[in-house]
Amino acid sequence: MKRIALLTSGGDCPGLNPCIRSVVRTALANGIEIIGIHRGWRGLIDNEMEHMDARSVAGIVNLGGTVLRSSRCPEFREPEAREKAASNLLERGIEGLVVIGGDGSLNGASKLARQTNLPLIGIPKTIDNDVGGTDYALGFDTAVNTAVEAIDKIRDTATSHERLFLVEVMGRNRGFLALQVALACGAEGVLLPEVPTDITALCAQLERCREAGKVSSIVVVAEGDDAGNAYEIAQKISDQSDYDPRVSVLGYIQRGGAPSAADRVQGGLFGKTAVDALLSGESSKLVASRNGQVTLVELEVAWKETRELPEDLLELARILAS
């Protein structure tokens, strides 16, 4: 293998740049030429590529976002778009591809690999941490820390004014981010898409906290909760109680910012593992973290396996919220 390429696809997150740096430098250390594809699948279809060297990735380990840029590209679901992508790869003599993406992008990667027989390795990333087959996706740790820092500040106002705050975090239709954030910021409640929301029970729980002497309450709401968004839930709470809740939607700040030390190191490990896998003849595999070890699993597990929320963390959240 003499030349490989790399792209980042889907929603950006912290940890992409340390991972890009690792892929580039591992390839170069093995005497392999490395091509960076801009703007994910969009850039591959449009043939936007650059030759990368060690200096292309200098000074990026601490940067959020992706220096290669990213995109959501529904067109890549069409076989014709993948044909175009494949012929661009072929023309450049690219013999292997590393795709850093979430489950949607990795599904596209798998289809491309099947259509072309191109050796391809996926690396999981998303602040939602919902990629199947891996305990960890790049960006999650930083997003958790960003949300916790914000909620610690909201707590100051909640306490000073003896208020209830509903804080909505991202996660699409999964509650990994919300659960981790709720535990880390000592939330009095957490609403998750995986657990049916009972507003009456939530009000009773908040009331118990108040009677126990708590002066403020924070409820973390996952954006995909079945009871609606944080504003709708706030309305339902005020309809059923004497609370006058305030709402804060954290939004895209959770996707940005400098990667945490953990995301930098994990990005480095994931990137090196992907290049090593290509060099040892692997294909259609996902780099995964399982029980603290970096390993390879079948790529299709990324979207076929549904990860369960950890039962022990759910129980912990219930006990600590009192």
| 118 or 177: CB nearest ligand F6P | 177
> Which range, of 53-61, 164-172, 179-187, 309-317, touches ligand F6P by CB under 6 A?
164-172
Residues 202-241, interacting with ligand F6P (CB under 6 A): 223
Q: CA-to-CA distance for 163 and 157, rounded, in angstroms?
A: 8
Residues 61-90, interacting with ligand F6P (CB under 6 A): 72
> Applying CB under 6 A, does 11 fall inside the site for ligand F6P?
yes
Residue 267: CB atoms within 10 A of its CB come to 27
Q: CA-to-CA distance for 292 and 281, rounded, in angstroms?
A: 24
Identified binder of ligand F6P from the candidate list 14, 65, 171, 267, rule CB under 6 A: 171
Q: CA-to-CA distance for 19 and 249, rounded, in angstroms?
A: 29
Identified binder of ligand F6P from the candidate list 22, 105, 126, 180, rule CB under 6 A: 126
> Applying CB under 6 A, does 128 fall inside the site for ligand F6P?
yes
> Applying CB under 6 A, does 302 fall inside the site for ligand F6P?
no
Identified binder of ligand F6P from the candidate list 170, 192, 277, 314, rule CB under 6 A: 170
> Site for ligand F6P (CB under 6 A): how many residues?
11
- Token pair belonging to 177: 């981010």
DSSP 138: B
Q: CA-to-CA distance for 225 and 308, rounded, in angstroms?
A: 16
φ/ψ of residue 203, rounded to 5: -60, -40
| 32 or 170: CB nearest ligand F6P | 170
> Applying CB under 6 A, does 168 fall inside the site for ligand F6P?
no
CA distances from 179 to 4, 29, 220, 225 (A): 38, 40, 8, 12
Q: CA-to-CA distance for 141 and 138, rounded, in angstroms?
A: 8
Catalytic residue among 128, 130, 141, 263: 128
> Which range, of 20-28, 29-37, 167-175, 235-243, touches ligand F6P by CB under 6 A?
167-175
Contact 142, 255 (CB under 8 A): no
**Closest listed residue to residue 222, CA positions, set 265, 301, 166, 145:** 166
| 104 or 189: CB nearest ligand F6P | 104
226 as an active site residue: the answer is: no
* Structure-derived torsion over alpha carbons of residues 303, 131, 252, 150, reported in degrees to the nearest 10: 150
Minimum CB separation of residue 152 from ligand F6P in Å reads 21
Identified binder of ligand F6P from the candidate list 37, 127, 275, 297, rule CB under 6 A: 127
Active-site residue set: 128
Residues of this chain that bind ligand F6P (CB under 6 A): 11, 72, 102, 126-128, 170-172, 223, 255
